[in-house]
Amino acid sequence: MAQYRTQIRIIADVLSTARDHNTEGTGVGVTTLLRKGNMSYGRMSKLLGELVGSGLLLELNGEKISKYMISQKGIQFLAAYYSFEDFAQSFGLRL
């Protein structure tokens, strides 16, 4: 049975993609985030705006397209997320 993702889980997925796929240090494009995040363009755009606004992602403006990189605050958020996810799972719960 397929499980729906909570908002916090979607945020963690986007942040971890931005962290793991930034191999060249130039940021990650929207296409990669869309492919890994498994959501519509409109929804992703809105989410990216919110994550940049809250300082979890950094927007790197290129000539044609914007790329995204996880910030230090985003890394700290992910670390906290994994710890509490582990804690919640111990009780049989999902974050």
Partner 1 sequence: MALIENLLQFIGVFVSFSIAYVAFRGVKQTESSSLLRLATAFVFLGFGFLVEGIVGLGQIVPSLPISTTAVVVGGLLLETTGYFFLAFSHAVDVVLSKRMGVALLVFPVISLTGTQLADILSILSFYFVLYGVVETIYSYARTRKPDTLLIALGLALIGVGTFFQWLSLLYLQVDVLLLLQIILKEMGLLILFTPVLRFAVGGVRVNGPV
Of 21 and 30, the one with the shorter C-beta distance to partner 1 is 21
How far apart CA 80 and CA 41 sit, in angstroms, is: 27
Cα gap 21→70, rounded to integer Å: 10
Nearer to partner 1, 65 or 75 (CB): 75
Which of 27, 74 has the CB closer to partner 1? 74
Which 10-29 residues touch partner 1, going by CB under 8 A?
12-13, 16
E-strand stretches of the chain: 28-29, 57-61, 66-70
92 near partner 1, judged by CB under 8 A: yes
Cα angle, residue 80 at apex, residues 16 and 2 outer, rounded to 5°: 55
Q: In the bound complex, what is the minimum distance in angstroms from residue 37's beta carbon to partner 1?
A: 11
Query: Which positions lie near partner 1, rule CB under 8 A?
Result: 6, 8, 12-13, 16, 75, 77-95
